[in-house]
Structure 1
Amino acid sequence: MKEALFTSDTAVQAYSPNTVFFCPEESHFYSQCLEKMVLKHCTHFDSVVEFGAGDGSPVISCLLKIKFDGSIQGYELNSEACELGQSRIEQYRLEHQYTIHNKCFFKNFSSKATYLIANPPYLPAPDDNLYMPSLHGGEDGATITKQLLSIGCENVMLMISAYSNPVETIEYALNQGYQVVDFMISPLTFGYYSCEPKVKKTISELRKNRKAFYSQNIYFLAGVLFKKRDSYSTDLSVELLRVMTAL
């Protein structure tokens, strides 16, 4: 039943992929990153906030597999995705651990949160006139990611695409006082959203300027845990970028 969260056999098939984000491979990888780098390490004292919760399936999948004593507050502007997510939370009786609010994250973010998590919009394009406008990440795909890194949360776990200006994104994080303390990387194929002509053209242009890295139909997606810089952790940013820019 847990794996069904990432298949077209679930309620998401009732929605258009232009209405509710649907990419099983990416959602599954995001869930793995959350489990390994965030939720397994949380205590009942920790609070987690999520930007762009979508249909909630990555977090729900984690909560069904591991012991988690904290709380997660998700924010999602897409009312249909939020409705689907909340119905799944109720279905699996996870209301005491996870809530998705149909509100703007940036207007409701609590600075007391221990972790900020997100698979932020990272499609690069000159405008948001896309199959799914909410996936627009700015001209280089990194705009929303940088906004999240500027909030100042102590621990931030983000998904970062190799075709969305990863070098400048990591440099921005370092300038904000973060260091990379852990990461996971998975190869993904260009899919429905990233193959939209406008997006693919922008990615190709970014590649010419060494701001996008990919090979044929493959790109790397990284789950990256950033932590405010301290003297006890090793910064893995150089290693991360070496892998992400290898294609």
Structure 2
Amino acid sequence: MTALPFYDAEESEFYGMCVEDLIRRRLRSHGSALKLVELGVGTAKTICGVLRRVSSSIHVHGFEIDEASYRNASSNILDHALEDRYRLTHADFFEAMDGLAPSGCLISNPPYLPALDADIRLPHLWGGEQGDHISRRAISMGFPQVLLMLSSFANPLGMLRWARAHGYALVHWVARPIEFGDYSNEPKVRQRISELAAMGYSFITDDSYLLIGATWSRDGFSGDRSLELARLIRSHSRPALPDDVDPFASLVHEEV
């Protein structure tokens, strides 16, 4: 029997809130629809819920590489009668986008569990050795706007610097604490998180981390809020790091 695609209600609800807020802010500021491209749709339940609450002018093109997830998502979209607004493509997002000019806003709750290899309970949640590999690739695509969910245990300061180096300003963010769950508490994953914390790349308390909805834009740097978010991230650590330390002092510079 094929296992159902992974779905975490708390995290998915927060992701949906961030996407809905992005759409509503766009409609208020520009009065026009925003084209959304989604990297990894999972069950599609989250974005189905968003689309039912916002203007019918909003359309999403989602990419899902996993066949079981794609089938499940397609069924959920049909159940919500959203097939005319939520288009799915069963493909590797990065391969499908190769050679195409990115447009609109890329949204994603990407995999971010760190481990030295993908041999973990749910391999499709593996985000590379530091948990930020897929997020960095997403930023490197060059979409005009990007909304990603970041974890404070997956090299978040490195992600902020990576985005700035690729011409993005962090224009909006929202964060909430999340308790470690079954998959982030898997011994192999938790050990790697502890190693990253010791190196200054992971920011956690004994039982929680921060989940952040971060929106970047290439429209200019006048409103960049990276430093503001970096300070919050650094405060979510045990023990708390001093305020007078440059939050961008030690970051990873590896290439994707």
What is the TM-score normalised by the length of structure 1? 0.88
How far 1:45 moved relative to its partner? 5.5
57-66 or 161-170, larger mean C-alpha shift? 57-66
Contact 2:40–2:109 (Cα < 8 Å) also in 1:
yes
Contact 1:180–1:224 (Cα < 8 Å) also in 2:
yes
1:23 match: 8
2:41 match: 53
2:91 counterpart (96, 100, 103): 103
Deviations 1:56-92 (A, max 9, x none): 1111110111214132110111111111111111111
Deviations 1:117-147 (A, max 9, x none): 0011111000001111111111000111111
Give aligned pairs, total: 231
1:79 match: 67
Q: How far, CA to CA, are the matches of 1:227 and 1:22 in structure 2? A: 28
Q: How far, CA to CA, are the matches of 2:35 and 2:102 in structure 1? A: 8
Deviations 1:183-208 (A, max 9, x none): 11111111121111110000000000
The verdict on how the C-alpha distance between 1:82 and 1:112 changes in structure 2, with shifts beyond 3 A counting, is: same
What is the TM-score normalised by the length of structure 2? 0.85
How far 1:41 moved relative to its partner? 2.1
2:154 match: 164
Contact 1:39–1:68 (Cα < 8 Å) also in 2:
no
1:153 counterpart (135, 140, 143): 143
Q: How far, CA to CA, are the matches of 2:7 and 2:126 in structure 1? A: 15
Q: Give the root-mean-square deviation of aligned CA atoms.
A: 1.7
1:7 match: none
Contact 1:142–1:169 (Cα < 8 Å) also in 2:
yes
Q: How far, CA to CA, are the matches of 2:105 and 2:112 in structure 1? A: 20
1:66 has 2:20 as partner: no
Q: 5+ residue gaps in structure 1?
A: 1-13
How far 1:48 moved relative to its partner? 1.2
Give % identity.
Answer: 32
The verdict on how the C-alpha distance between 1:45 and 1:188 changes in structure 2, with shifts beyond 3 A counting, is: closer
2:223 match: 234
How far 1:229 moved relative to its partner? 4.5
Q: How far, CA to CA, are the matches of 1:49 and 1:39 in structure 2? A: 16
